[in-house]
Amino acid sequence: MFFRIRPFFMPNLLLTARPFSQRNPFDPEAIAPSIPEDQPNDPIYFEKGDTREIGKKLSAKIYKKIAVMTGSGISVKAGIHDFRTPTTGLYAQIEDPDLPFPEAIFDLNYFKLDPEPFYRISPNLITTNKIPTLTHYFLKLLEDQGILLMCYTQNIDSLEKKAGLSSKKLVQAHGNVDHSHCTSCKKDYPISELRQHMLSKQPAFCECGGTIKPDIVFFGEKLPQEFHSKSELILYADLLLIIGTSLTAYPFASLAQMVSPNTPRIVINKGGYNAFAQNGFKFDSEMKRDIFFDGDCDEIISDIVKDTQWDDSLKKLVERKN
């Protein structure tokens, strides 16, 4: 008899000690410590909230501690499928009769039971030949301008690093395919050897008999300690950019509510307006703290950069790295 394994992330959140069932994931008091004393009291919101205004504010360095949250939408133009888009997402393309449900390929318990379905789709996860998108280089540009506080990403492709973003400014909340280990003895495993197994769609096993997996966070695993140790930095952000994600995965999504109530938030994503609006974002408020841009990430970022003095700098970054 087969028991369906329901995928979930362990609730290892930076939360107060209330029962999990009573916690509202969009309640800032539930997920964040008190606001730092040096947090600005006077919020710098938007008048029009268009790309021109945002570009000019960035260029003038009105915001000096920008936090960024990114998802799979920023890597689509690099040829990397997201997971949940109907018909084109990775889950939609899985036709494996052995799987009880598509998400089981990333369920730790199921992986230990049967790693073959994961390895059959694993070539899709190898991104060493992929080129960063304009949005990835924009992250590096923010760092070069000295105004990037931290980039938190759900992506496992490491294209931020390939674009030149330094490790100290990047938190890969859901892991990466740059390292691997044994699920039993936890010993590190050479990533070059694992990639060969992934390309051949054959499971890799440790000398102890355990199954090897890349350092991707599977359902049922805790997020990396780095995520928790650096999450509180977002409290100091004076601007939050949310790019290419609908913020459906927790605890990552909780970061958006950990910023100060005075911190403006800009969402750049293809769709998802209603989901954000239902979860505490007030895009229609006259105060214009929250701004939503619906569309292609690269195109919107390009429009913003046009109204900065950094257009040439961004072009040079792209040319130099490519």
* Residue 136 known to be catalytic: no
Classify domain 81-126+176-216 at the CATH superfamily level: SIR2/SIRT2 'Small Domain' (3.30.1600.10)
**Domain boundaries along the sequence of the chain:** 44-79+132-174+223-322, 81-126+176-216
297 is in an annotated binding site: no
| Angstrom distance (rounded) from CA 126 to CA 123 | 5
pLDDT digits (tens, 9 = 90+) for 246-282: 998 889 999 999 999 999 999 999 988 988 988 889 9
Q: How many CA atoms lie within 13 A of 91 on its CB side?
A: 12
pLDDT digits (tens, 9 = 90+) for 65-99: 999 999 999 999 999 987 777 777 777 778 777 78
Same fold, 44-79+132-174+223-322 and 81-126+176-216: no
| Residue among 81, 136, 174, 197 flagged as catalytic | 174
Percent of the chain with pLDDT over 70: 86
185 is in an annotated binding site: yes
206 is in an annotated binding site: yes
182 is in an annotated binding site: yes
Which CATH class for the 44-79+132-174+223-322 domain?
alpha beta
What is the pTM (predicted TM-score) of this model?
0.85
Question: Which of 64, 141, 149, 160 is closest to 312 using CA atoms?
Answer: 141
| Angstrom distance (rounded) from CA 113 to CA 116 | 9
